[in-house]
Structure 1
Amino acid sequence: MSIPPDQLTEPAVRAFVTALNAGDRQAFAATLTPGATMSDDGSDRELTRWTDREIFGSGGHMDVESQTRDGLGLVAEFRNDTWGSMRTAWRFTVDGGKVARFETGQA
């Protein structure tokens, strides 16, 4: 059973997942701090290129299965048109109400 994005407890993470699932690049960019960073499977990636390829250019979507007590960690079924569906873990660093860094990888 998945957790609807509007029930995620951390507001910045809630906005991130909502924008990602809507395919809304502008709203997604607004969830990030200037200079936000990310990693995928332990390797730092260039955020804009990665999100263009893995999310916006390929119909990326997250179905959140669980969240950590602090709301900064998620386990989600992530799917896109390139890789299909996979169980992923996400960890967020929030600064000033926006995502400063996110780390994702297979769960």
Structure 2
Amino acid sequence: MTIQVARLSDPAVRAFVTAVNAHDREAFRALLAPGATMSDDGSEHDLDDWTEREIFASRGHIHVDKESRGGRALIARYRNDTWGEMRTRWYFTVGDDGRICRFETAGA
């Protein structure tokens, strides 16, 4: 059962999912703290390169099925035009300023 994006608990994570699903690069980048980092399946990636390829150029979309850790951990069905749909985990670290410092994603 999908959780409506507006009902996600953490404001930064809610804004992240909203920006991804709207393919809004500007809103997405505004959510990230300076020097933000990310990993995919345990491998570090250049955040700008990865998000352009895996989210924006391939029309990524997140359907959240479950959240935990105060809304900073998600189990979701992620779909993009390159890989199709897959079950994924997402973990977020949010700084004191409310911006995302790091996110990690992997198969679930």
Supply the AA of the counterpart residue of 1:94: V
Q: Give runs of aligned pairs for residues 20-99 of structure 1, distance below 5 A.
A: 20-95=20-95, 96-99=97-100
Q: Secondary structure at the match of 1:54?
A: helix
Q: CA deviation at 1:4?
A: 1.0
Q: Secondary structure at the match of 2:9?
A: coil
Equivalent position of 1:4 in the other structure: 4
Equivalent position of 1:102 in the other structure: 103
**TM-score (normalised: structure 1):** 0.98
Supply the AA of the counterpart residue of 1:100: C
Q: CA deviation at 1:69?
A: 4.1
Q: CA deviation at 1:6?
A: 0.8
Show structure 2 runs of 5+ residues with no match.
Answer: none
Show structure 1 runs of 5+ residues with no match.
Answer: none
Count of residue pairs the alignment pairs up: 107
Query: Which 4+ stretches in 1 moved above 2 angstroms?
Result: none
**TM-score (normalised: structure 2):** 0.97
Supply the AA of the counterpart residue of 1:105: A
Supply the AA of the counterpart residue of 1:55: I
Distance 1:67 1:98 in 2: 18
Q: Secondary structure at the match of 2:70?
A: coil
Cα RMSD of the aligned pairs, angstroms, is: 0.6
Distance 2:83 2:92 in 1: 22
Q: Secondary structure at the match of 1:21?
A: helix
Tell me the percent identity.
60
